Amino acid sequence: VGMGRTVVELFYDVVSPYSWLGFEVLCRYQHIWNVDLRFRPAFLGGIMQATGNKPPAILPKRAEYLQKDIKRMAKYYQVPVQISEGDFQRVLGKSTLPAMRFITAIDMTEPRYLEPLSREFWIRFWSQHEDISQPENMLAVAGQAGLSSELAQKLLEMISSPAVKNRLKETTEEAIKYGAFGMPAVVAHLDGEPHLFFGSDRLELLGSVIGE
């Protein structure tokens, strides 16, 4: 860590399209801003449950808006999120728990693959609309991200281990402790104080607070 670099943590789950937008924007800024960006894969379901939050798309008017909003943001940030009418229903019926455990396992073993692997999971889920909870799809995602089949197989075995389950649970609890109620949750550490920013539309504000 360079002198005076601000540690910025990004808590995310690949079920969240806004997390993808925030992730890509922070990936672009991490080399321009004086930040030490840390990816923190967590489980959105756990955060929602702990805080009593509900998926925003449950409200029909909001679902209508979200569809337009995500399309606009995808175009503006050049991120290939493809969103259509039935997507929110599809997402509500799918658990990303296995995928987030798989991502957690790479973070624990080969963290240099964390960024490309997370991105490939979003692409598979939000651009190609595939079920990422299936083992064969997880292995395909890993291949796309440049992992060897041996490593991918090892990660698949790791997702049922207590070590991986606990790590994901702890990261999720950490996000909640910082005040997260949804995702993405971005935490900037300034002068020993954590500053929470929710969503992918507060990144200019984050930049301003950290002096960029």
DSSP states of 102-126 = HHHHHHHH-GGGHHHHHHHHHIIII
CATH of domain 6-210: 3.40.30.10
Is the per-residue pLDDT at 11 higher than 90? yes
Q: Spell out the domain ranges in the chain.
A: 6-210
**Residue of 66 and 177 predicted with greater confidence:** 177
Is the per-residue pLDDT at 197 higher than 70? yes
pLDDT for residue 165: 97
**Look-up of token digits 């409200």:** 59
> pLDDT tens-digit profile of 89-125?
667 667 889 999 999 999 999 999 999 999 999 999 8
pLDDT for residue 1: 45
* Distance, CA of 198 to CA of 60 (rounded, Å): 22
Is the per-residue pLDDT at 146 higher than 80? yes
Of these ranges, 7-11, 28-32, 87-91, the one predicted with the greatest mean pLDDT is: 7-11
Amino acid in position 64: E
* Distance, CA of 83 to CA of 74 (rounded, Å): 10
pLDDT for residue 52: 85
| Structure token pair of residue 13 | 């789950």
Contact partners, residue 76, CB within 8 Å, separation at least 6: none
pLDDT for residue 136: 94
| Structure token pair of residue 209 | 């607070």
Q: pLDDT-based confidence at 54, cuts 50/70/90?
A: confident
The values of phi and psi at residue 187, to 5°, are -120, 120
Contact partners, residue 43, CB within 8 Å, separation at least 6: 13, 96, 97, 100, 168, 169, 172
> What value does the mean pLDDT take over residues 39-67?
86
Question: How many other C-beta atoms can be found within 10 angstroms of the C-beta atom of residue 1?
Answer: 7
**Residue of 79 and 2 predicted with greater confidence:** 79
- Helix, strand or coil for residue 140? helix
**Active site (annotated) includes residue 16:** yes
Which one, of 181, 156, 159, 141, lies nearest residue 45 by Cα?
181
Mean pLDDT of all residues belonging to the chain: 90
Question: How many other C-beta atoms can be found within 10 angstroms of the C-beta atom of residue 59?
Answer: 12
Amino acid in position 106: I
pLDDT for residue 93: 66
> What value does the mean pLDDT take over residues 6-24?
94
**Which of the following is catalytic: 16, 19, 118, 200?**
16
**Look-up of token digits 């609309």:** 129
- Whole-model pTM? 0.92
Between 8-17, 38-47, 62-71, the lowest mean confidence (pLDDT) is in: 62-71
